[in-house]
Structure 1
Amino acid sequence: MQKNLHRFILIRAILFGILTVGGSVFWFAMNNTSADAMSQGMAHYNKEEYVEAAQWFRKAAEQGQAQAQYHLGHMHDSGKGITEDNQQAVQWYRKAAEQGHAQAQLQLGGMYQRGAGVTQDKSEAIKWYRKAAEQGYAQAQDLLGMLYQLGVGVSQDDQQAVEWYHKAAVQEYAKAQYHLGQSYYNAKGVTKDEPEAIKWLSKAAAQGQPDAQKHALAVHFVATAPSDNRGDGGTRGQMADKDEVSQADEPKEAVHKVPEPASQPTQVPTVLSTKHDDEETNTDKPQKTVRQSRQEAAEQGDAQAQFNLGVMYERGTDVTKDEQQALKWYRKAAEQGLAQAQDHLGMMYYKSVTLDDQQAVKWFRNAAEQGLAQAQLHLGLMYQLGEGITEDDQQAIKWFRKAAEQGDVSAQKLLTAMNGQTTVNHQTPKPQLQSEPKQIIAQNRAGTQNDASDKGVGDKPAKVSSCPDNQYALTVNATPATSRIRVMNIGPKYQPGICLTPKRYDIYVTHRGYHGYRKWIAIEAADVSLDVALTPR
């Protein structure tokens, strides 16, 4: 009897051991399978093999892997490699967010803010933004600061805004550094302190943050600082140029004058970019250049870094100028919902590399619907010109008004012109060309700016004018004949023989596959005929 009891105990012990070991092996195998699937998914994703990436992410996500759940949510959100489905995006973001995944928490907050795949709920959006911010996620901290400063979903509180900006700024998050610099300059939530404002604005500008680079305080500081203190190896001494129509009645200098920091952010992004690191750049590693740090962050999926890298390639800053690389990185950031990248991608489609007006309209619209004033201006111009979309002045006015309400001067001037408050005679002759020439949206940033003097080769004053008193005809004779022609500082479209009052006019001629031509001319007391022959790229 006792022998049988010992045998029974021994058998149970053996079975327990087998089950325990077997369970451990099973758990390890499942966990390892999850890790392998995640690794396979990332490998395909980095090769832009999105269909395969989605399949592998799903395998890992279904096993509870939070990072894979986040990626699968993002792919449903963007429609990349998988059917776009906001409800599925919310489902997977939520699974990852409930496991404490900060990026997923931020994105889930964005879905609630937009009402995408879920009933719009600003309180729920704030809840998830806060969870991500309290984990130290810099992008969420900066966004929460903006919400407090604007009083969106929370009580307006400049001091709370500054606290969250500071948390993100010390992590070298460039947008937060810019916002913190604004706060110090404008005494929002803190005592006015210009040296402190310069400190944070210059940090943001040195990282390539576009808004910071447009402010004279930051640019001056970066330009005059010792080269070893500059984030870009000393190359950020000029203000960033802006994708917009020329708006003054006089020629602009090569470096545009810009306002000092605005009193507060004017909008909150409604589609959030995703990040794979907490930091925008790895400035704590001095052995790496800004380009190397940005490249690493971009390759890990950091949308802001992808956008900044695209800017570097487009301008040739610390890298060989490469429009294809710029297009690649703008697209990656744009597909994650970064409005600035969407607008830049639209411009790339419009003016260089892959010329596709319909794609330009698509990306301008994506950014414009997020509230980006510059993209609203560009979309309005596409409607006004009938480029990539049916010409529609009412839609043009709608988007110009949205941009104008945010203070965009170009949009304000175009809106005024379209409302009929202009000195241009609308009773101009009909176009004589087979296809009416139309002008490009923005200044060409690829070095196609021509002589800006008042008169030059090809300016031919005519003897007789068919225009009303105190107006004179302007005719631009372009080669190729189907070139786009626009007078950039007026609202109405150019037509051959357009009647204009005496002053200076910004003439811009472009054609696909050719270098653009830009010139200021003066109309004084005679008709003007301008001959322009574009050169192939």
Structure 2
Amino acid sequence: MKYSEVELASLEKMASNSNAEAQFFLAYKYEHQLNKPKKAFYWYKKSAEQGNSNAQAELGRIYLTGKYILQDYDQAYSYLKKGISSGNSVSKYYLGFMYYNGFGTKQDYNKAFPLCYEAALENCTLAFELTATMYLEGKGVKQNNEQAFYWFQKLAECENETGQLHLYLAYKNGLGVEQNSITAVYWLTKVASQGNPEYQYKLGKIYLSDSSPLKDYKQAFYWFNQAILKEHTNSYIALGSMYENGKYVEQSYQKALIHFIKASERGHIEINHHIGVIYTSIENNFLESIPWFTKAAEKDHIRSQVSLGQIYQLEDTLNIKKAFYWLKKAADRQDLEAQYLLGELYHNEYQNLKYKNTVNILKDFDKFLLGEISEVDNYHYQVTDHRAIQWLKKAAEQGYVQAQYFLGQIYASDHDSNEDTFISWFTKAAEQGYEEAQLELAFIYYEGYYISEFSEISHTVTCNYEKAFYWFTSAANQNNSNAKYHLGLMYYHGKGLAQNYEKAFDWFTSAANQNNSNAKYHLGLMYYHGKGLAQNYEKAFDWFTRAAEQGDTEAEYHLGLMHHRGEGLAPSYEKALEFMLKTAESRNESAFIWLRDFANTNDTRVQHALNFDDGLPF
């Protein structure tokens, strides 16, 4: 209600003449329009003392909330009871509110509900929300989702944000009404349209979701932009992601970064890590990524600590002291990847120092890596680095496969380590599906020995074609072409199983289709000799050519042989010689024998090739 100056003067005159209704309206005007709370309180009290139930309700509210005056529950209760005695619905609501929350009285839902419900039935909009809430929670009344929905709907129809939000949740989850995602979004849109950035963001996420039937990138972009008008942090991230992935907008990492940096400026820790990832994986700018990872790492973001530990080991950003520092931070917080990488760092640095003849075993390795001391004492040489093993075991014993595999490699580099030790760690990793470990075990059992790549120490292991077949198969099932090739080889030669050219052909073909040159060569060999299929020089030549293009010397030799013999093509000494000379450069013994037996030894090219290696047995 609005009044002109003339109307205000008239209202004040009537109020001064003890007109209770005029006093109430004058108080209402002073409170809600003129922002003069003291005058409002004065006239509410005057009106209430004359029995005006609306004024009594408002005085009860003011005393209840402590608005303008000292909070006084007793006074609130007293005025609200007076209002109720005159049937005032607002007083019923506020007294019910007091019982519901236990303000100035013992909390009593059974007294709260009938007061609120009666006020709601009398169309007191204030009571709609609490009535709906009590039905929803089953407080003071039997829980009833349908009744809760009814009263929230009444509230929503008053353009109340809380009511609209509850209708969104009701339709979304099917509470008290049939589930309907479209209607749910309608009500969420009503909430978002009132300017709340959190719900604008939520609405944008619905439109952005690929699994949503309402997916609409244009709408998502609109609502996120609405939310960032109020600097909503997650909406900056959502818009950045749209630019990063080219959804609705042209892909632009620079624009994505602008939005991500805005979120960072508002204190979002995770986004600092993502900015660092963009600089490393997309921009290939490790130096630029460091400050962003550092921001997150300093706030205990483990993944950023691990990233810094890795970056500081790169050539252009090398700083072992910082690498050690950040990996140790993350490892101490039980991050398995960090424990593995820290163990790897210990081992690699230990190996570097060992090969430089700087130290055999480091007494103060931690202090040395941190740069706290420049020299360390020399101790008796041990191949296995105990600190590396300490951290690797922490991760390995909790199932981290790379640590298990790496432990196996370290133990295998020790003269005194028995095969059970390193094989057991390879097996743990392999059983978890780690492809490298599966392949390693397969070769160990297939060849009967293992040579450490760290120390070139050799371990003899009992051949076991059954286990080799098992692990080759495990790796092949992960699409490893080398494993497929070796399965073909086992079937081809009948190693540990019945010879089966058909299965050999299938495995060779599968590996060859993954560009495995050995498999291509063996397919050529099968067609060349007619092993398990009809002899076909044309197909043999084709597969030998494919393998030779990848540098397979045996394939090159066979191409030379086919040109020499005219197998599937016209004989050509020059082409045969060309292939044999090329193959001889790779020190292929069969090529040397052919050059000795069939080539023109007066040809200087042949003479040069035959004198290439005096160590050959001819």
**Greater relative contact order (CA < 8 Å, ≥ 6 in sequence):** 1
TM (normalized to structure 1)?
A: 0.39
Larger helix share, 1 or 2 = 2
